[in-house]
Amino acid sequence: MRLLFIDAFVGFGSVGRIVQELYDTAEERGFECCIAYGRGDAPDGYNTYKIGSKAGVIEAGIESRILDNHGFASRNATKRLIAFIEKFNPDVINLHSIHGYYLNIKILFDYLHKTHRKVVWTLHDC
């Protein structure tokens, strides 16, 4: 079974560490895992996919503040993430912190609505 985690960070901050620990536990139990993340660097030894770039995060932050559209920039980075998801072909997609200037939530959620993959959304900050 393949499991894809999506979070802002890997191994950094509370949620980034939770995602890393979930990855470790799932991998120990035989899952093939990947973490797609948008900010910072990932620790060595993890199968990861970097969503966008540092410049893209800065650009999305500026666009968000000027146009008041937080979560709706990063269009190209999100389209590339979707292409990666199709290639990785996970059975389950586990969403964590999806804010932070690295994803376009409309594009991502339109895709998740159309896909037949199971989606688990862990709400850490509600």
pLDDT in tens, 21-31: 999 999 999 99
Token code pair at residue 118:
């199971």
Is 15 within 8 Å of 3 (Cβ atoms)? no
**pLDDT for the residue numbered 34:** 98
pLDDT at 124 over 90: no
3-state secondary structure of 27: helix
List Cα–Cα distances, 104 to 43, 60, 70, 88, in angstroms.
25, 9, 9, 20
100-118: per-residue pLDDT in tens?
899 999 999 999 999 989 9
pLDDT tens-digit series, residues 31-65: 999 999 999 999 999 999 999 999 998 999 999 99
Residue 12 confidence (pLDDT):
86
Q: Does pLDDT of 6 surpass 90?
A: yes
Inform me whether the pLDDT recorded for 125 exceeds 80: no
Percent of the chain's residues with pLDDT above 70:
99
